[in-house]
Amino acid sequence: MNLTDEQWAFIEPLIPDNERMPRTTRGRPWRNPREVLDGVLWILRTGAQWQDLPERYPPYQTCHRRFQKWVREGVMENILRALARDLKERGELDVSECFIDGTFVAAKKGALGWERPSGAKARSSWQWQTALVFQSPYASQVLARMK
């Protein structure tokens, strides 16, 4: 599922101008940021590895490099904040009741499968994992604005 024209019209202004055009006349022309973002969103949605990106998207190396660049430069965070702000303004975001899942599975080096971590290695209660989320600087910013 790719971005609709309406969704892209909302996100496109948040992509820096230098992403729409190559910086120099040398090398290959840059791929369309909409196509790259569609590829990145496919990876994030499916949880697949980058090299498993379908051929209908730009090369996985392009999508991965651009994703890393967008994360470093704060572009992805700006997109997420704008989407959350839009949902809240339209009344479609209700954080009065929510659940954050902090579970994880650790992999042992050299193991063929994943193994559940022992209690000595990781705290497993949902209370502990939820408390860790609230210690995040992002969570404190959101909570401060919700007063």
Q: Which two tokens stand for residue 17?
A: 């101008």
| pTM > 0.85 | no
Burial class (CB in 10 A: 0-12, 13-18, 19+), 36: buried
Tens of pLDDT, residue by residue over 90-115, are: 887 776 666 666 665 555 566 555 55
Hey, how many other C-beta atoms are within 10 angstroms of the C-beta on 58? 19
In the chain, domain spans: 5-89, 106-145
User: In the chain, helix, strand, coil percent, each to 5?
Assistant: 50, 5, 45
Per-residue pLDDT of the chain (147 residues; tens, 9 = 90+): 788 999 999 999 999 876 655 556 677 778 889 999 999 999 988 888 999 999 999 999 999 999 999 999 999 999 888 888 888 888 877 766 666 666 655 555 665 555 555 555 555 555 555 555 555 565 556 556 654
Q: Which two tokens stand for residue 127?
A: 């209370």
Contacts of 16-25 spanning 24+ positions with Cβ under 8 A: 16/73, 16/75, 19/66
